[in-house]
Amino acid sequence: MELLLPLAFIVGYAAIVFEHPIKINKAGTALLTGVLCWILYISIDFTPDRVELKVDYLTEHLADISAILFFLLGAMTIVELVDAHDGFKIITNLIRSTNRRKLLWIISFIAFFLSSILDNLTTSIVMVSLLRKIIDDKEERLLFISMVVIAANAGGAWTPIGDVTTTMLWIQGKITTGNIMKELFIPSLVCLVIPLAILSPRLKGNFKKPEVIENKKQIPTTPFERKFVFFMGVGALVFVPVFKTITHLPPYMGILFGLGVLWLATEILHREKNEENKSIYSVMSALQKVDVPSVLFFLGILLAISALQSQGHLTLAAQFLDSSLGNTSIIVFIIGLLSAIVDNVPLVAAAMGMYDFPVDDHFWKFLAYCAGTGGSILIIGSAAGVAVMGMEKIDFIWYLKRISLLALAGYVAGAATYILITSLI
């Protein structure tokens, strides 16, 4: 009976992977898999006391999942609101080059450094909206967006606020800000540069920018309105880690606070317009554009993984690695590879429960790198990947064929760089 749960997860995961051949939307499959995993978990022992305990587990997991979903919803709404005001023109107008190779490096480095300030999830959402304004061809845009996933995950690994797993280690006192930034910056940079160096020679010539089609029925935003909403929106995103530091409240509260402020600001900004034009630039309109299936897909995946975690499969996997390998560096490296398949949050949580190394130990810093960047190997392996997969309808197999080896090369090179640097020091 206990084997039915991981089997259900594997079947559901396979259905998500082969979404296009079987022609079943991955959001529906993910939701069904998530709920089915919890049904099977509860069915293992159906005594009243055990059922009540398992429902309590579900409630605890749902609190963590909701925090991620509310953050995602808030960030996507802010990005859509900035987009409605043509705020991204401020950046797209600065990017004048149409050279494919040059743009790839520019976009990747913007994502790399932006994710260290914001986080990899928010950065990916912003960069998808930005690339839609720059590249017209869908296939070509997917290639750039996939590199954004690698760049955002690499950039998020070397700061305490850039990735949820690094934040977990930071909050639990396993790492300190100065040490993690100093020792992981170069390995994270290598993790990005290697895929860029491999991919760049394949890109030749120039790309075609999308044609701007103006809607004559609506009043275009003024330069002041564009700049105001753009800087307010970016400010709301950047303020999240500051909000967390000051109030000690979780990040989703910060993003909701920023959204609330932006909501009031845009209402005041457009209060003189007629209702028809005012509604176009409202948060209500932005909410209607948010990709809800992507949010539900995220919900289903996280529910399924939480069921595996509650039954203890992830802890058993960690213990098996510990007993069979022994070498902590190899264990951490494999945890990074596993994070491409299973969410890195429970894997890191399991590792924190198993080991008691001192603050800023090699184990914790290497874990921050591997768990943060290993998820790039598969599109479904990180929050950033899942978000862009939903927003741009990226096919799992497409990413596997074109990007996975590039991400793996970067991951291995960055890990080797970290080991080399620490051995020399």
Are 251 and 240 within 8 A, CB to CB?
A: yes
Residue 297 in contact with residue 26, Cβ under 8 Å? yes
Rg (CA), the chain: 22
> Could you read off the pLDDT tens digit of each residue along the chain, which spans 425 residues?
678 888 998 898 888 777 778 888 888 888 999 999 999 999 887 788 888 888 988 998 888 888 878 877 888 888 889 888 888 778 777 777 778 888 999 999 999 998 887 778 878 888 888 888 888 888 888 999 999 999 999 998 998 778 878 877 876 678 887 888 889 999 999 999 999 999 999 888 777 776 655 555 566 788 898 899 989 988 888 787 788 778 988 878 988 999 999 999 999 988 888 877 788 888 888 888 887 887 888 788 878 888 888 888 777 776 777 777 767 888 899 889 988 887 676 677 667 767 778 888 889 999 999 988 998 999 888 878 888 887 888 888 899 999 999 999 999 999 999 999 988 87
Residue 219, amino acid: I
d(CA 146, CA 136) in angstroms, rounded, equals: 16
- Angle among Cα 153, 159, 160 to the nearest 5 degrees reads 110
Q: Name the β-bridge partners of 99.
A: 206
Q: Residue 359 carries which DSSP code?
A: T
Instruction: Give dist(CA 34, CA 308) in Å, integer.
Output: 10
Integer Cα distance of 310 and 67 in angstroms: 18
Cα 363 to chain centroid distance, Å, stands at 23
Closest CA to 348 of 332, 328, 325: 332
